[in-house]
Structure 1
Amino acid sequence: MNTLSRREEETLLKQTKASALKECDSVVKEFAQCAEGRTFSVAWECRQKYKAVQDCMLQYTGPEAMAIVRAEYLRLREEQKRAASTPS
């Protein structure tokens, strides 16, 4: 079976987003510093920093990146099934 259950898909996405946040930590911190103490002006004052966060996250969580993550997960799952079904 080469498909993911909804639960597996959600878990992978959650893990990938957490990993992406770690990878994009410096960019996220820059945006947070810009946004600190602002309310409405965040929209125009921090627009470029927000876009940088979005761009950084997208490289780890975009469709292409998620396809790679899914493929790796499926490969590992198949490997584990084969190992479990092989008699010792």
Structure 2
Amino acid sequence: MGYLQEARENHVKKKVEEALRSKMKQKALKECDILCSKYAECARGRTFSVVWQCRKEAKELNNCLHQFTNDAILEDMKKAYMEQESKEKKQ
């Protein structure tokens, strides 16, 4: 499959992509809820010191979030959306 054909098949409107990104982020936050809580607990009552005092918690949270929010997952979501749209058009 050529690059242009693949790009056309995976192209979605900007608003749809924004909605998919939002859905992806919500899922990531839900999956990483425990680490979010740990980071929030560490950060409570701190201002500038949160940067170095909570470095471990921040890194763990970012690693978890990255598992669920990356380009490959977004592309999979776009592909699934396009397949669903195609099925609905055929009906």
The TM-score bracket by the shorter chain reads 0.7 to 0.9
Equivalent of 1:54 in 59, 62, 66: 62
Q: 2: distance between equivalents of 1:70 and 1:55?
A: 23
TM (norm. structure 1) is: 0.87
Aligned positions, number: 83
Q: Name 1:28's counterpart in structure 2.
A: 36
Establish whether residue 69 from structure 1 lines up as the match of residue 86 from structure 2: no
Alignment check: 8 A CA contact 1:30 1:49 kept: yes
Superposed CA RMSD in Å reads 1.1
Equivalent of 1:10 in 18, 23, 37: 18
Show structure 1 runs of 5+ residues with no match.
84-88
**Structure 1 runs, 4 residues or longer, greater than 2 Å off:** none
Percent identity of the aligned residues?
34
Alignment check: 8 A CA contact 1:60 1:66 kept: no
Q: Name 1:80's counterpart in structure 2.
A: 88
Structure 2 counterpart of 1:73, one-letter code? Y
Q: Name 1:86's counterpart in structure 2.
A: none
TM (norm. structure 2) is: 0.85
Show structure 2 runs of 5+ residues with no match.
1-7
